[in-house]
Structure 1
Amino acid sequence: MPGSSESSSSSRQLSDTPSPRRLLSSSKVYEGRIWDVVSDAFELAEDSGTLVRDYIDHPGAVAVLPMNGDGDILLLKQYRHPVGMDLWEIPAGLLDIEGEDFVVGAARELAEEADLQAAQWNVLADFFNSPGSSSEAIRIYLARGLSDVPEAERHVRTDEEAEIELRWVSLDEAVAAVLEGRLHNPSAVVGILAAAAARAGGFSGLRPGNTPWPAHPSQR
């Protein structure tokens, strides 16, 4: 039976795992304003030969899928210059404040980009944005129990963020937009599909917001 050998030999939980390799050297080849490019020389196994890989050294990021009491989600439209498009996204940002709690960082982005605060936080998904070329790790939260940030405390958005447009949509509408190829932002795509899957179980299987995140660069 196709696939039977794999399933019979794999009763272990399906999970990505750390895989330390012998690092021979590491050097910074480009220093940017937000992230750097490094070049690592390493061995897959002893005396297997040296491999060299260049990649973006990234501080990681958090993203937030806000959901109201009706089950609708908030998306925001923002211009992204590298792809030359206005993308429908979810609030997100870099974890570029050293030592900042991940949920605190997510709450900051939710307030700055959507003028919202949340009483309930759960983890929707963790993923690597482009593991063949970047160390960037992203955690997506589901934020519920929403309320408005007081007017006097709201963040003044500048540059591309000044053009942000907010829209509440049903989760089903967002899922359809993903499956029809109309949404492209990775955090939005992953977050929307994860929320739809979690909804089937009444969101009871989601991890608490303070769940450890060992895959984040600061924890590895």
Structure 2
Amino acid sequence: MSDELAWETLAADTAYTCPGFDVVHEDVRLPDGTETDFDFLREGDSVVVLPLTGDGDVVVIEEWRQAVKRVNRALPAGSVEAGDPAPRAAVDRELREETGYEADTVTHLYTAEPANGYADSTFHYFLAEGCTRNGGQDLDFDESISVTTTSFEDLLDAVRSGDLRDGRSAVGVMYYALFER
């Protein structure tokens, strides 16, 4: 990769902060010497889990999403926390908290930057196999989540038909269908 395309950050500050993300304002110098500013969303790393039960069904969640004002069908997902030594550490926690399930084995599938033109979000996709329900959910105060299982084919059909609209989940399902099974 060529460093001749790199922008130089001259100054940076957090313009807005809230639980879940920050808006960062930077003063930058472009490769041609032009000085301007750039704002982006700082969200950081998250994990997205494709949890398969022993008989091959997928554990999915349904969660209210205020931004789009509807229930969203999705794969379990959540932020990598400051104390996590690596994204893998967040998988067990998020799967247990959101679904009450635990996995026998966990394998990294893929890492993506879904919106790197305006956000630093990084999604780490993992396959969790041999999932069994071992307890109840331990939801955050602002989460409303129900849990169900479905066949992988039904989930893939939901992506194909547009019924599963959660982008990070759709990428995980399509990646698995294309490269892993």
The interval holding the TM-score normalised by the smaller chain is 0.7 to 0.9
Pick aligned residue for 1:130 from 101, 110, 115 = 115
Pick aligned residue for 2:176 from 172, 176, 195 = 195
Pick aligned residue for 1:179 from 155, 160, 164 = 160
C-alpha RMSD of matched pairs (Å): 2.2
Letter in 2 for 1:29: A
The Cα of 1:119 is off from its aligned counterpart by 2.0
Q: Which residue of 1 aligns with 2:70?
A: 85
TM-score (norm 2): 0.88
Q: Which residue of 2 aligns with 1:204?
A: none
Q: Is the 8 A contact 2:84 2:90 kept in 1?
A: no
Q: Which residue of 2 aligns with 1:37?
A: 23
Within 2, Cα distance between the matches of 1:155 and 1:58? 24
Within 2, Cα distance between the matches of 1:66 and 1:141? 8
Q: Which residue of 1 aligns with 2:58?
A: 73
Runs of 4+ off more than 4 Å: 16-20
Bigger mean CA offset, 119-128 vs 92-101:
92-101
SS of the equivalent of 2:103 reads strand
The Cα of 1:56 is off from its aligned counterpart by 1.0
SS of the equivalent of 2:11 reads strand
Gaps of 5+ in 1: 1-15, 201-220
Letter in 1 for 2:46: A
The Cα of 1:24 is off from its aligned counterpart by 1.4
Within 2, Cα distance between the matches of 1:95 and 1:189? 20
Measured against aligned partners, the alpha-carbon deviations of 1:93-147 in whole angstroms (never above 9, x if no partner) come to 1113344331111110001111111121112221123222211111111100223
Q: Is the 8 A contact 1:24 1:40 kept in 2?
A: yes
Give the percent of matched residue pairs that are identical in Structure 1 and Structure 2.
23
Q: Which residue of 1 aligns with 2:45?
A: 60
The Cα of 1:61 is off from its aligned counterpart by 0.9
Pick aligned residue for 2:125 from 132, 140, 146 = 140
Gaps of 5+ in 2: none
SS of the equivalent of 1:67 reads strand
Change (3 A) 1:17 1:199: farther
- More strand, by proportion: 2
TM-score (norm 1): 0.73
Letter in 2 for 1:100: P
Change (3 A) 1:178 1:121: same
Q: Is the 8 A contact 1:59 1:96 kept in 2?
A: no
Q: Which residue of 1 aligns with 2:12?
A: 26
Q: Is the 8 A contact 1:140 1:187 kept in 2?
A: no
Count of residue pairs brought into register by the alignment: 180
